[in-house]
Amino acid sequence: MILVGQFDSPFVRRVAVTLHHYHMPYSRNPISVFRNVDEVQKINPLVRVPSLILETGETLIDSSAIIDHLDEMAGPARALTPPHGPERRKVLQAIVLALGTADKCVALFFERLFHIDKHINRDFEKRMMQQIAAALAKLEHECGAPWFHDNKFTQADITTGCLVGYMKMRVPDVFPVDKFPKLHALALHCETKEDFVKARPSPDETVPGQSKTKH
Ligand SMILES: N[C@@H](CCC(=O)N[C@@H](CS)C(=O)NCC(=O)O)C(=O)O
> Model confidence over 79-104: pLDDT tens digits?
999 999 999 999 999 999 999 999 99
Alpha carbon distance 106, 204 (integer Å): 18
Cα(62) to centroid of ligand 1, in Å? Answer: 8
From the alpha carbon of 40, which atom of ligand 1 is closest?
12
The residue whose CA has the least distance to atom 1 of ligand 1 is 62
**Residue numbers of the chain with a pLDDT score lower than 70:** 210-215
Alpha carbon distance 112, 117 (integer Å): 8
The residue whose CA has the least distance to atom 19 of ligand 1 is 63
- Measured at the alpha carbon of residue 159, what is the angle toward residues 155 and 111, in degrees to the nearest 5? 160
Whole-prediction pTM value? Answer: 0.96
Domains detected in the chain: 2-74 (3.40.30.10), 85-193 (1.20.1050.10)
Contact yes or no for 108/174 (Cβ under 8 A):
yes
**Structure confidence at residue 211 (pLDDT):** 63
**Structure confidence at residue 117 (pLDDT):** 78
